[in-house]
Structure 1
C-alpha cells in the first residue's frame, strides 16, 4: 500500500484511549486514523451520540466494527483484523471519507456511512479476492465501450442501465434489441469464450465488441490505467447521484480502488465489431453431461462476420476508433 496514513501514528500510551490524527479537516464528520495500545490499525468516526444509532452494524470480513464512547460522542471504531485486508481496509476508509465529503448535514452523512457499509458488506461477502490483471483488462474493455459508444448516444442514466455485467447477466450490455459481449485481446488474434451462453442471445442481435489493448507503462503517450477511464466517465456523467450509481456498479463488478491497480497500464490499439450470426464460429450444442465449456475463437476466421455500417447505425454506434 503506497499511502499509509497510520505509519506516523504511535500506539496509544494509555489503556482505553486511542492515538490518532484527523483524516479530513474539510469533512463534516470527524474521521480519524488511529491506533490502540497494541498498535492495531483503526479508523474512527466520532459524532454526537444521537446520530450514531445503537442499531445492528454490518459485519465486514476481515474488519471489526464496534460502537464506542468518548465524551458526549459515540464512535464507530473500525479495526483491521487481518493484514491481508489492509489495502481493502484503506480503500473502505477512503470511500467513507469521499462519499461524505460534499455533504452538509451531519445526520445525513452518518446515514450515508451506514448505507456504504451495507454495500461493502455485500462486496466482501461475495468477493474473496481482488480482481486480477486479466479481469482488470476486461473491465477496461467494458468501460471503453461505455465511454466511447453508449455515453455519446444516450443519457448517462440510460447508458448505465445498459451495463449488465455487474449484475451477473449473461451479456455485458443490453439495449434496444441488441446484446453486446465485450472481449479484449493483445497481439494474439483470438478471444476467450468463458461460457457457452456468451455467443447466444434472446434479443434480435448479438454484437461482439473486441478491443485490442496492449500492456504498457505510464511513460507511453496515450497509455491509460483503469482510473483514467473511471475519471473520464465520471466527467461525462457529471451528476452526483449517477456517479454514485456508477461506483456501485463498479463495486458489484468486483472493483474497489486499490493502489496496485494504478500500476497496470494499457495502450488502446484498435477495436472492431462482429455480428454473431448463425454461422459464426461457435459451439452450438453441449454434449449431454457437459455442464460448462470454455474455448477460444480465432478472429482470423471471423472476418466475414464483421458488422457492417448499417447494422452499427441501427444500434446507434458510430465506430470512429478502429
Structure 2
C-alpha cells in the first residue's frame, strides 16, 4: 500500500518500544504513526500532564485501543491495527482524529487526548449502529418528533396519501414537511434539554420562494399510559392508518421510514414518551438565523444553534395559523 504512511516504517527492534514517526509535523499535536515489535501498525498520542480522570477507551472490532499510564497524570493512547483487512477503516479513523483535533492550540496534547477518546466513542457508536441498524438517540427523538407532527397536525387535515407525500424529512429535504407554499421544520428535544435549537445548515431556515413555520416540541420520559408512546408504537399506529387508506399511501409512508433508516427494533420499545409542549414560530426576515445570502463565497454547510427564547417574538397561534395553511 504505497504512501499509506506506515509501510516504509520498519517493525520495532524489540518488544519494549515502538518504532514511530511524527504523523504530521504541521499538526498542533504530537501524533505518531509507527509499528510495534510484531510489525502491526500503530497510531499514538501522549501527554505528560492533565490526564487525570480520562474516559475509558471503547472497544473497536479489529483495532485495539490501549491507554497506557506512566504516573497519575501521564497517559499514552495507542491504536493498534489487529487485522490488516481493516486497514482502510484504520487509516480513515486516524485521518479523522487528525482532522478533528487540528484546531487545538499547539502542544495541547491532554485536551487532544480527551477529544480523541470522545471521538473514538462516537466512532464506536457509529460502527455499532451500522452493524445493528440502530438509530442514535438524537435520531430516534428527531424521528419521533416528525411522526408526532405527522399524526397530530398533518393527518387530520390531509388525506393519508397527501400527508405521506408531504412528509419530506426522511428524504433529507431541507425542511421536514411541505404543504403547498408552506414548509414546516420540526425540532424536537427532551423537555430537560437546553432550550436551544440545532440548525443543520444555512438552507434549513431559508424562506426563499416559500413561507416557513418552525415547530418546537418537547418530550419527556413517562410511565406507560393513555397519552404515552414509543417509537415503535407510533410507527405501528401510523402504519395502520396509511395502509388502510390504500397501497399508495402505505408505500409512501414505508419509503419515508426507510429513508430515515428506521426498521423495527426491540430497542425502540423504550423509553416511553409523552409530548410536553408544542410551539409554532413563523420564520420571517428578522428571525435569528443564517441564510445562504449571508455567507461569503466558498463557505457552505454551516450548522449553528438558536436560543429558543429569542424565537418568542415570532410565536404564532397554532390553531389559527394551521387553519390558514390548510384553508
TM bucket normalised to smaller: 0.5 to 0.7
Work out the CA distance in 2 between the residues paired with 1:218 and 1:243. 30
C-alpha displacement of 1:166: 1.9
C-alpha displacement of 1:220: 5.9
> Paired residue for 2:322, among 288, 309, 312?
312
Work out the CA distance in 2 between the residues paired with 1:295 and 1:254. 24
Question: Could you tell me which residue of structure 2 aligns to residue 293 of structure 1?
Answer: 302
- Secondary structure of the residue aligned to 1:301 is helix
- Secondary structure of the residue aligned to 1:257 is coil
Question: Could you tell me which residue of structure 1 aligns to residue 17 of structure 2?
Answer: none
C-alpha displacement of 1:245: 2.9
Counterpart contact for 1:178–1:203, Cα < 8 Å: no
- 1:255 paired with 2:262, answer yes
Work out the CA distance in 2 between the residues paired with 1:201 and 1:163. 18
Work out the CA distance in 1 between the residues paired with 2:301 and 2:156. 36
- 1:191 paired with 2:197, answer yes
Counterpart contact for 2:167–2:177, Cα < 8 Å: yes
- 1:246 paired with 2:253, answer yes
Work out the CA distance in 2 between the residues paired with 1:183 and 1:203. 22
Work out the CA distance in 2 between the residues paired with 1:257 and 1:251. 11
Work out the CA distance in 1 between the residues paired with 2:322 and 2:245. 29
Moved more, 298-307 or 128-137: 128-137
Work out the CA distance in 2 between the residues paired with 1:251 and 1:283. 30
Which runs of 5 or more residues in structure 2 are unaligned?
1-129
Work out the CA distance in 1 between the residues paired with 2:134 and 2:299. 29
CA displacement 1:198-223 (0-9 Å, x = unmatched): 11133431000111112x15446632
Which runs of 5 or more residues in structure 1 are unaligned?
1-126, 318-322
Question: Could you tell me which residue of structure 2 aligns to residue 276 of structure 1?
Answer: 283
- Secondary structure of the residue aligned to 2:316 is coil
C-alpha displacement of 1:256: 0.8
Counterpart contact for 2:175–2:184, Cα < 8 Å: yes
- Secondary structure of the residue aligned to 2:203 is helix
Question: Could you tell me which residue of structure 2 aligns to residue 207 of structure 1?
Answer: 213
Superposed counterparts of 1:1-322, under 5 Å? 130-185=134-189, 186-187=191-192, 188-214=194-220, 216-219=221-224, 222-237=227-242, 238-241=244-247, 242-284=249-291, 285-308=294-317, 310-316=320-326
Work out the CA distance in 2 between the residues paired with 1:271 and 1:307. 11
C-alpha displacement of 1:231: 2.1
TM-score by length of 2: 0.54
Counterpart contact for 1:167–1:253, Cα < 8 Å: yes
C-alpha displacement of 1:240: 4.7
C-alpha displacement of 1:177: 0.8
Counterpart contact for 2:213–2:280, Cα < 8 Å: yes
C-alpha displacement of 1:251: 0.8
For residues 192 and 306 of structure 1, do their structure 2 counterparts lie closer, same or farther at Cα, with a shift above 3 Å needed? same
Moved more, 253-262 or 283-292: 283-292
Counterpart contact for 2:178–2:184, Cα < 8 Å: yes
Work out the CA distance in 1 between the residues paired with 2:259 and 2:285. 33
Work out the CA distance in 2 between the residues paired with 1:278 and 1:168. 24
Work out the CA distance in 1 between the residues paired with 2:270 and 2:185. 27
Tell me how large the CA RMSD over aligned residues is: 2.1
CA displacement 1:42-93 (0-9 Å, x = unmatched): xxxxxxxxxxxxxxxxxxxxxxxxxxxxxxxxxxxxxxxxxxxxxxxxxxxx
Work out the CA distance in 1 between the residues paired with 2:326 and 2:227. 27
Question: Could you tell me which residue of structure 2 aligns to residue 87 of structure 1?
Answer: none
Work out the CA distance in 2 between the residues paired with 1:263 and 1:156. 27
